Amino acid sequence: MAKIIVTAGPVPGHVVPLAAIAADLTKRGHEVLFYTGAQFEAQISATGARFVPHPAEVDVTVGALDAALAEREKLAPLERIVFDIKHLAADQAPIHDKRLQELLAEFPATVVISEPMSFWALPTALRAPRGRRPLLVNIGIAPPAFSSADTAPFGPGLLPPTTDEERASYDDMRVQMGAFFADPQQYVEGVFTSMGVTLPAPLFDAMATVPDHLLQLTVPAFEYPRGDAPEGFRFIGPLPAATDSEFELPDWWAELSDDRPVVVVTQGTVENGDFSQLLVPTLRALADADVTVVAATARPDGPDMVRAALDDQVPANVRLAGFVPFEQLLPLADVLVTNAGYGGVQTALRHGVPLVVGGETEDKPEVAARVEWSGIGVNLHTARPGTAAVRAAVDDVLNDPRYRKRASEIRSQCAEYRPFDAIADIVEQATAGGEHSRLGLRREGDEL
């Protein structure tokens, strides 16, 4: 039996996939300690893992950083990334690192599983060579951000270069982006120095090269090929999610099996405070369409918020929902309209559902660009599309069979991967003291 520490930033998109990994490892008989925000105690405890909360002074989920988060809301998208790096990750890293070392002293884990924004896990790997410390496994819950000559700089959501002119343009852009991120890079380096370690590369690269493994939760068909990917980078496919057997089907659920196409729209679990961004425009755009629209608001008061935004004039073809399990909903869907959250898009890939996406914050432009590049949907290139743009995109996806065909192809590729088995294999090899063969995580013929 292995001892494993799992740690994740205290937001649903970071915690949920790692909680699923923790649940699988405990079912296999391993002992798991999960370190994250206090708000997630019940969710983590349900996995069978031992829950340890973040110290209150750095726990976003108990309001410790509310003032900082309020300031963040005033910033432009790229400025938010800088803010997040400096003040929602680096500033707290020494406290989290200290707590992680305390946990390792009392719970001698052979493996630490983290995700890219958990900066506090990196010093553990930097303080000692492999074999004299826990193995560090990073789970790719967002598009890989490490630099590559085969892609555009990470952030704006640009497609890979196809001409020499584009490559030259991206090279220039890399220089400009390097200058833009020079301040947060220097800031993070100073924080790491205060922890007694040296950051060996630019931050986005270090998040991929410092861990022993970076396991990406997608398939090659949804990710740009790279000839210069880090050695530890591997695709393991999207995580399957458990079906919620306690979900009570609403009265309208049977309608989803009718002949009419089903369009699901959501703004995810974070950007759902203002439904005028994407959800409401979609409902208005499809009000007279011969489709059934399911508005998945991901919050208990969501349906009431939507009714208020529509002045109680909810279109007749719309079905409002609070929390609804996508594992049960997406098999009935023909299109998913979403703000390009990575986890939701991967769920659509597993179910072969084509997409219409629009997002501007965090990694969402990069996710949306990959939807476009992979041929699985339409990129709206904005988080606040007009109704005409949404209607045209949904009509395009419903009427052009190429999207459904490509979605089916990617679904088939997803089915070839066993992500839980791949992670468990690493854990068990590390615990047995053997050197894991990284090629074992990769299907023959995969391209990076």
Taking only the tens place, the pLDDT of each residue in 292-313 is: 999 999 899 999 999 999 999 9
Q: What are phi and psi of 426, to 5 degrees?
A: -65, -45
406: part of which helix (H) or strand (E)? helix 401-415
Domains of the chain: 3-237+417-441 (3.40.50.2000), 251-413 (3.40.50.2000)
User: What is the DSSP track for 125-187?
Assistant: HHSS-TTSS-EEEEEE-S------TTSPPSSS-PPPP-SHHHHHHHHHHHHHHHHHTHHHHHH
Total-model pTM = 0.91
CA angle 225, 229, 235 (to 5 degrees): 70
Q: What does the alpha-carbon distance between residue 377 and residue 335 come to, in Å, rounded to a whole number?
A: 9
Q: What is the pLDDT of residue 71?
A: 81
Mean pLDDT, rounded, for 36-55: 96
Six-digit token string for 215: 């396991």
Q: What is the pLDDT of residue 244?
A: 62
pLDDT digit string (tens) for 146-202? 999 999 999 899 999 999 999 999 999 999 988 988 999 999 999 999 999 999 999
* Cβ pair 318, 339 in contact under 8 A: no
Computed over its alpha carbons, how large is the radius of gyration of the chain? 22
Mean pLDDT, rounded, for 326-354: 95
On the question of pLDDT at 437 being above 90, the answer is: no
Six-digit token string for 11: 């937001």
User: What is the DSSP track for 319-337?
Assistant: EEESS--HHHHGGG-SEEE
Mean pLDDT, rounded, for 203-229: 95
pLDDT digit string (tens) for 373-418? 999 999 999 999 999 999 999 999 999 999 999 999 999 999 999 9
DSSP H helices in 195-243:
203-209
Give Cα 394 distance to the centre of its chain.
24
Q: What is the pLDDT of residue 438?
A: 38
Contacts of 267 (CB under 8 A, 6+ apart): 275, 277, 278, 279, 297, 298, 338, 339
Mean pLDDT, rounded, for 112-136: 93
Look over the chain and give the mean of its residue pLDDT values, rounded to a whole number.
91
Structure confidence at residue 447 as a pLDDT band (50, 70, 90): very low
Mean pLDDT, rounded, for 261-276: 89
Structure confidence at residue 243 as a pLDDT band (50, 70, 90): low
On the question of pLDDT at 439 being above 60, the answer is: no
Structure confidence at residue 445 as a pLDDT band (50, 70, 90): very low
